[in-house]
Amino acid sequence: MSLREITVLTDIALITCIVQRGVADTIIEAAREAGAQGATVHFARGMGVRERLGIYGVAVEVEKEVIDIVVSKEQVERVFERMYLAGNLDTPGMGIMYITPLDKAATYIPTEVLDKFAADEEKEAKKNHKNV
Amino acid sequence: MESKFSENTKCITCFLPKGAGIKLVEMLHKEKNIDSSNVHTGRGLRTVENVKDYGAWTEQDVLTVVVDADRAEEIFSFIFFQGELNKPAGGFIYQTSLTKASHYSLPSMED
C-alpha cells in the first residue's frame, strides 16, 4: 500500500457527552465495556439547570467534562445506552449527550488489519461468484 | 448584499498528539490560506495497539476547521498527511456536514 493513501472509514458516528467534572472516567469505562475503542475528554464550563435549581444548584458542578467517542453505526446505540446509564443522565442536572453522524473519518490502520479485510472481501467475492 | 452565511460547509475535527495542533494551524494559514481554525486541548484514551497502551491517558490537541464543501477533500487530506495521521499513534480525523456556518475573514490592514 502506498503511504499516500487514505483508508476512509464510513458508517460511523460521534457520541458527545457533557457531564460534571469527575464523572467522565466512569462513563468512558462503560463505553469501553460496550465496545468503544477510545475516547477524548476536555474541560468546559456550562450553565443551565444549575441556575434553575436555585439554592439546590450548588450541588451541580459548573466545570464540565466533554467526552467525544467515535464508534461504528452498528455499535452506536449500545454504547450510547451504556454511557447514558453509567452517567445517570436520567437525573436532572447530570448532563446531556447526543449523537452526530459523521461523513467520514481516517486514522492509521495497521497493514495486517487492512490485509485481513482485503482477504475477507476477496473470499466473499469468490463465494458470491460461485453462487451466481 | 453578499450572504453572511454559507450553507454548504464541512467541519473537520482532528485529535492530535500534544503540540501538533498549533503547527497545523500555522500550516493551514500559510499553505492553504485558512484564517480560522481552532485548537483546544484534552486528554485521550486511544485504540489499544499493545498491552502497554491499555488505560494510558495522553495529552491531546483537538483541531477544528470549518471549510467550504468544495475544499473539504483537499483540507482533509492535507491535515491527514501533514499531521502524520497515517502513522501509528498519529491521531484521528473526521468530517461532519454543517447546516449553516458564518464567514470569518480578517480585516485588511488598510481598514
Q: Is it the case that residue B53 has pLDDT exceeding 70?
A: no
Contacts of A106 in chain B (CB under 8 A): 76, 80, 85, 92-94
Burial (0-12, 13-18, 19+ Cβ within 10 Å), B90:
buried
Q: Does A106 touch chain B (CB under 8 A)?
A: yes
Produce one character per residue of B2-28: b if its CB has 16 or more CB atoms within 10 Å, e if not. Answer: eeeeeeebbbbbbbbbeebbeebbebb
Q: Are B66 and B5 in contact (CB under 8 A)?
A: no
CA dist list (Å): A85 to A28, A71, A92, B83? 12, 18, 13, 36
A14/B62 touch (CB, cutoff 8 Å), yes or no: no
What is the dotted CATH code of the domain comprising B7-98? 3.30.70.120
Show residues of chain B in contact with A70, CB under 8 Å: 92, 94
Label residue B52 by pLDDT band (50, 70, 90): low
DSSP one-letter code for A9: B
ipTM surpasses cut 0.90: no
The confidence band for B103, taking pLDDT boundaries of 50, 70 and 90, is confident
Does B62 contact chain A (CB < 8 Å)?
A: yes
Beta-strand pair A12-20/A63-72 = antiparallel
Residue A44 predicted with pLDDT over 50: yes
Q: What share of chain A is helix, strand, coil (3-state, %, to 5)?
A: 40, 30, 30
Nearest CB to B94; choose among A14, A32, A43: A14
Pairwise CB contact (< 8 Å): A105 & B96? no
CATH number of A12-131: 3.30.70.120
B85 and A107 in contact by Cβ < 8 A?
A: yes
Tell me what the mean pLDDT of segment B93-102 comes to: 95
pLDDT score for A1: 47
Interchain contact B29–A (C-beta under 8 A) = no
Please give the pLDDT value at position A3: 56
The per-residue pLDDT of chain B, averaged, comes to 88
Residue A53, pLDDT above cutoff 80 = no
